[in-house]
Chains A and B, each alone.
Chain A
Amino acid sequence: MMDWAYLFEISLTGIASGGLYALAALAFVMVYKATRVVNIAIGEMLMAGAYLFFTFAAMWSLPLWLAIPAAVLASGLLGAVIERTMIRPLLGEPPISAFMVTVGLGSVLVGLVEMVWSADQRRLPDFMPSKPIMVGDAFLAPKVFWGAVIAAVFIAAVLLVFRYWRGGVALRATASDQGAAYSVGINVPRVFSLAWVVSAMLAAVSGIIVGSIGGISSSMGVFGLSVLVVVIVGGLDSVLGALVAGVLVGLVEALAGAYLGGEYKLLATFIVLVAILMARPYGLFGTREIERL
């Protein structure tokens, strides 16, 4: 007989952990929306943010209220450096060039982390409340719950920024037509820079949360694989898509893990990916490109 309480508990956990995917996916979408660069190194940027937090909080023993913003700002700086040195020189080049650079960027970041911090697994200092969250009789791990709350807050903030802030509007304008954006006086390179900085900062927040749950190591960029599925399912340039697809993938993974076994988690995720792409090749909420033949 179906154990509904079990299904409810598993689903709740899946949806909450989907929030973490959504946050990392948001970092990806920021860059893609503004620059059309597919940043395959998103998992590694998230890892870099987590290691910066580890350095400030555990190695330098800074208080948390200082360590978290410091790690986020340092990640923003890293994003700016990446954009200025690797991405901007490729402006006007075919998209595949920038894509390949991000593939290399992932390896460079892993190499740097192994050189500076070694490949050993480490634990981040606990900073989230440890009181279990109970929804009826269902248990929700506190870190996962609070991670999802933080993700929801950031996603809402980004949605509002895109809607109402001038910078957000500039970003959207650049995304839809660079030439037109130039002609109305938008500083397109600055928009590019801004997108990378904000994306790196969001990745850092995501990395700090993910790292505080599963620990950090030089291989935590693997998380980026599931994030890529999320952004493709959601539509590469849709913030709302990132949120919906994050929750969907989180839910599917949790159900597959609970009812089929851990080995079916990724398989289930990729089946979802293929099924959605067959029905909607541009993702759930992605911009439908008009192709003229």
Chain B
Amino acid sequence: MAQQRISTRRRSIMLTAAAAGAAALTQPLSVLAQGADEIVIGGSIPMTGVFAFAGVGINAGIQDYVKIVNDAGGIKGRKVKYVPEDTGYKVDVSVAAFKKITSQNKVNLYYGDSTGFAKTINPELDRNGSILMAGASFATELNDPKKYPHQFLVGPDYTEMFGILLNHIAKEKPGAKVAFVYSDSEFGRDPIDSSEALAKKLGLSVPVKIMTPAGSVDVSTEVIKLRRAAPDYTIFHGYILAPIPEFITQGKQQGMQSKWMGTFWTMDSSTVMKMGPDGEGFMGVMPYRYYYDTEKAPMLEKIRAMRPEYQSTAYTQGFLAAMLFLESAKRTLEANKPLTGDNLKSALNSIKDFDTGGLIGVPITISGNSIPVGRVYRADMKAQKMVAASDWIKL
């Protein structure tokens, strides 16, 4: 039987075609169709589930800042594309969303929805090497540029939040007694031990630390314990709303004189106002200005013009994340460098005395993985607003 011979030229053409075909198969059509000069922000956003109250705001914030940038011509002429997916605040769904978004788009920047996701996806970010990520987590553990070289926090980490509150307390009432009340969760336990050490360093004492089980309804025994410790200040952490109002109500009924405080995720205006009359004077740390702040803030004015109704602090968090993402991209492109994870991160870390348009009241510098600045705000229930109770505190 005569064997059919294939010429060398024909074979090389076939091999080239096969290679091209294989390449096309490994890259979905959407990637091939994507504009080569588009900057893509992917997002695992909790639009449903227990964190939806924040996710909806975060999503709107990112969307709005992307729109502002695109309307102004993009970043060095490159348009920005935002690709979100709902995660329901579940780590496995969030990882699936990451895989889906990154396989269909050449993603440069990514917003993650939780500490669990940030930790899970970190090895993938290191391997991939082309993405800079931020998210909804302020976990102290993530504030480590060595362990998390391609991530950053859009504000102070939880220990730094406690640091801001403790600094304020040490100034307002030297030697004060401060109680910590926190949930039995990774979120709740995060800053407790390091903050107890800091309190002692600042000359404060921590007479009691109370951990409540997640989902506990009745906190009467915990309130009795707290009353006996008679703290001057009580800091709640690891909750959104419940059981804080019940602590305050029962504490006041028992004649406690403590001032009550919270951290970022408790401190949105709408959350604090749900505490009712007993929430009067509730204080807490906030790295951003509130939507209705009257001090000069051109970016807030722009937001208010785009959205006349109240926007949550989660909105501001998403908006600022997008702003810092795209500032890093701009600086990278201006230095004529490719948009890799390393280049984006070093561009982020080159941010010194950066003006956020008043979203944060002082110019910010990001030397590591966090923005260690914030302010203490206090609830004015009559005006239904949060009002500033301190200057901006930089750690």
Contact = CB atoms under 8 A, between A and B. Distances in A.
Nearest to A14: B221
Interface string A217-255: 111101100000000000000000000000000000110
A266 B224 contact: no
Given A13-B220, A262-B184, A262-B222, A214 B246 contact: yes
Contacts of B242: 121, 214-215, 217
A262 B215 contact: no
Interface stretch (B48-56, B92-100, B194-202): B48-56
B80 interface: no
B387 interface: no
A139 B50 contact: no
Contact of B48 (A119, A217, A254): A119
A286 B50 CA distance: 38
A118 B221 CA distance: 30
B225 interface: yes
Contact of B221 (A13, A20, A210): A13
Most buried by A among B52, B212, B218, B249: B218
A142 to B, nearest CB: 7
B213 A141 contact: no
A208 interface: no
A132 B254 contact: yes
A50 B322 CA distance: 39
Interface size range on A against B: 35 or more
Contact of B241 (A114, A215, A220, A258): A215
A84 interface: no
A6 interface: yes
Contacts of A253: 221
Contact of A142 (B49, B222, B253): B253
A168 to B, nearest CB: 30
Contact of A262 (B212, B220, B245, B275): B212
A17 interface: yes
Interface in A142-162: 142, 144
Given A10-B221, A215-B243, A220 B274 contact: no
A79 B208 CA distance: 45
For the complex, would chain A's binding face be called helix, strand, loop or mixed by DSSP majority?
A: helix
B213 A122 contact: no
Contacts of A121: 240-242, 274
B3 interface: no
Given A121-B242, A130-B253, A17 B218 contact: yes
Contacts of B48: 114, 119
B210 interface: yes
B245 A215 contact: yes
A269 to B, nearest CB: 10
B210 A262 contact: yes
Nearest to B224: A9
Contact of B49 (A114, A122, A262, A263): A114
Nearest to B223: A141
Given A121-B242, A123-B245, A262-B210, A220 B220 contact: no
Contacts of A218: 50
Contact of B224 (A10, A118, A210, A223): A10
B228 interface: yes
B206 interface: no
A265 B50 contact: no
B52 A214 contact: no
Most buried by A among B52, B211, B220, B242: B220
Contact of B213 (A9, A120, A263): A263
A13 B224 contact: yes
Nearest to A18: B218
B7 interface: no
B184 A263 contact: yes
B363 interface: no
A261 B188 CA distance: 14
Contacts of A266: 213
Contact of B211 (A6, A222, A261): A261
B207 interface: no
Interface of B: 48-53, 184, 210-225, 227-228, 240-243, 245-246, 249-250, 253-254, 274-276
16 contacts: A6-B228, A10-B221, A13-B224, A120-B52, A123-B241, A140-B220, A141-B223, A141-B253, A142-B253, A144-B220, A217-B242, A219-B215, A220-B217, A222-B214, A257-B221, A263-B211
Given A114-B49, A132-B253, A222-B215, 4 more contacts: A118-B52, A214-B216, A253-B221, A258-B221
